[in-house]
Amino acid sequence: MSSPARTNRVERAVAFCLRNFEVVFAAGIGLTVGILDIFGDKLIESDFASGATLVVLGALAVGSLSERTRRPHAIQEAMEGTRRAIEDLTMVRSLAGNEVREALREARQGTNLWYFKGGTGTYLRAVTLPQCVRAAKENRSQLNVKIEILNPADERACNAYAQFRRMFSGSRPNNADLWTADRTRKESYATVLAACWFRMQLSTLDISVHLSSTVPTLRFDLSDSGLIITQDDPARVNLQVRRGQPLYDYYLTELHQSREQATAVDLRDATLLSLSPTVDEVRALFDALALPLPRAFTDADVGEVIAKALHPEDPYGR
């Protein structure tokens, strides 16, 4: 080996020992004491061996502290990684009982958008849509609402959804609360009617309705501040995701893709409605939207749809 190469190896070894002096020192003491204690036939006393052990441990501790001092950026990166991991674990908040209603109230404050996906949009009609429209009127601001609900013209889907809702309605539901295919159909028609009615009340309301034949098991309410996922079973936990978390963006894309696969209702074809729509106006409206009401619907049935659309009961207000 050439002399310059040997010199370079010696220089690197010396530099390593200087950088890691505490560790080298501790290793030297540990090896010396260990060899003497094993092969030296009691050449060293036990007190000396114990003291040497403490010296080794102390030197290693000093070395650890020195290493942290020499690598502040690495320690900072490790701490930042731990912080991000903790944030990821807490990016979803569970909601129960009245917390759902409060979370929805907070989500409505100051928002300019609301995306909904669910069964028939009962709470959307009763609280979300009227309050968001009222706030947009007061602030003279734009409001963007996108709705995806069950297609009322799909009898199979309405039947399946009614069966699903009855599954979680309790052992002895009230007759008024019993979910049937007929009720499901009327609830969905009512949401379409409400969307048309509010669209005529606010010129800055950009609202769309999409009809799906896939029975949903969850409800999604997304605003500027976050996403709230709720279920029909009151015994189960609901979820809240704040904006800025990856899950919020994932569902933003998911809801968009779901609407793309649903049937869009062209609300531009809607006929005019009065402040208190009549049965004839509502029938004409759905005909114009290419979503005619069933022939079996009596005037009383249409009146029920109007009541559900413009005078709905808050499902969380019971």
Which residues lie below 8 Å from residue 166, measured CB to CB, with a gap of 6+?
173, 178, 179
Is it the case that residue 39 has pLDDT exceeding 70? no
Could you tell me if 188 and 51 lie in one domain? no
Is it the case that residue 215 has pLDDT exceeding 60? yes
Which of the two residues, 146 and 37, has the higher pLDDT score?
A: 146
Instruction: Report pLDDT for 177.
Output: 72
Using the structure block, give the residue that is written with the tokens 């649903």.
262
Quick one: average pLDDT of 26-52? 52
Q: Which of 18-32, 94-108, 261-275 has the highest mean pLDDT?
A: 261-275
Quick one: average pLDDT of 158-175? 78
Quick one: average pLDDT of 247-260? 96
Could you tell me if 143 and 282 lie in one domain? yes
Could you tell me if 118 and 83 lie in one domain? no
Would 316 be classed as within a structural domain? no
Could you tell me if 228 and 246 lie in one domain? yes
Among the candidates 63, 87, 111, a domain finishes at 87
Instruction: Report pLDDT for 232.
Output: 81
Which of the two residues, 9 and 112, has the higher pLDDT score?
A: 112
Among the candidates 87, 106, 138, a domain finishes at 87
Could you tell me if 304 and 174 lie in one domain? yes
Could you tell me if 119 and 159 lie in one domain? yes
Q: Among 114-123, 166-175, 181-190, 218-227, name the one with the lowest average pLDDT.
A: 166-175
Among the candidates 29, 55, 87, a domain finishes at 87
Could you tell me if 222 and 117 lie in one domain? yes
Instruction: Report pLDDT for 96.
Output: 87
Instruction: Report pLDDT for 2.
Output: 55
Could you tell me if 41 and 157 lie in one domain? no
Could you tell me if 70 and 189 lie in one domain? no
Would 317 be classed as within a structural domain? no
Is it the case that residue 278 has pLDDT exceeding 90? yes
What distance in Å separates the CA atoms of residue 228 and residue 66, rounded to the nearest whole number?
A: 48
- Going by the DSSP 8-state scheme, the letter that residue 169 receives in this structure is S
Could you tell me if 59 and 102 lie in one domain? no
Could you tell me if 83 and 106 lie in one domain? no
Amino acid sitting at position 282: V
Residue 21, CA distances (Å) to 25, 60, 231 in order? 6, 10, 62
The number of folded domains in the chain is 2
Is it the case that residue 253 has pLDDT exceeding 50? yes
Would 55 be classed as within a structural domain? yes
Confidence of residue 63 (pLDDT cuts 50, 70, 90): low
Which of the two residues, 50 and 125, has the higher pLDDT score?
A: 125
Q: Dihedral angle at the C-alpha atoms of 151, 157, 160, 162, nearest 10 degrees? A: 30
Quick one: average pLDDT of 67-94? 58
Q: What is the C-alpha R_g of the chain?
A: 34
Which CATH number covers residue 210? 3.30.870.10
What distance in Å separates the CA atoms of residue 77 and residue 89, rounded to the nearest whole number?
A: 19
Percent of the chain with pLDDT over 70: 68
Quick one: average pLDDT of 161-176? 73
Range of the domain at 49: 3-87
Could you tell me if 221 and 264 lie in one domain? yes
Confidence of residue 313 (pLDDT cuts 50, 70, 90): confident
Quick one: average pLDDT of 211-236? 92
Instruction: Report pLDDT for 130.
Output: 96
What's this model's pTM, rounded to 2 decimal places?
A: 0.72
Mean pLDDT of the chain: 82
Instruction: Report pLDDT for 85.
Output: 47
Confidence of residue 80 (pLDDT cuts 50, 70, 90): low
